[in-house]
Amino acid sequence: MAVAAESIPLEDILTGETSRQCRYFKMKQLEGLKADEIEGFVQENLDKSSVVFSDMSTSYTQFSKYVDTHITVKPSKVSTRKTLQWVHIAIANLKRTLLGVYHRINQEYLQLYLDKFCYKLNRRYFKDRLFDRLVIAVVGN
């Protein structure tokens, strides 16, 4: 499974405090951890000007072709908590949701479960704008 998390650290100029929010997630079921599948995911979902942080997997060697900057981080407790924090949080929440709600997952429909999870996760900050966004989506189609 490929997981992308948009986590732009926003810093308040007055207090110097950084935002602890991650706005957008994308997940895709992959047949295997093949470099061409992962590169396809990056091409489809990331802008050329993106900065990508990833672990040191050998499947990610060609990312620099598709994004501006690719930074690899050696997996450790510190990198898990700091650099790749949102990816790990999303995966943990996905596991809990799938086990808690659906109990049994059919491999054939896994991408649909991932899409539903990401849809809900990406709209968690809409709150009072949720109805307006729904109207726009219905009218637009």
List of domains in the chain: 2-131 (3.30.420)
Residue 141 scores a pLDDT above 70: no
Global pTM reads 0.73
Q: What is the pLDDT of residues 43-86, one digit of tens each?
A: 888 888 888 888 887 777 788 888 888 888 888 887 777 778 88
**Count of CB atoms situated within 10 Å of the CB of 57:** 12
- For residues 98 and 125, the model is more confident at 98
Sequence-separated (6 or more) residues with CB below 8 Å from residue 80: 88
Tens-digit pLDDT profile for residues 18-48: 766 777 888 888 877 677 788 888 888 888 8
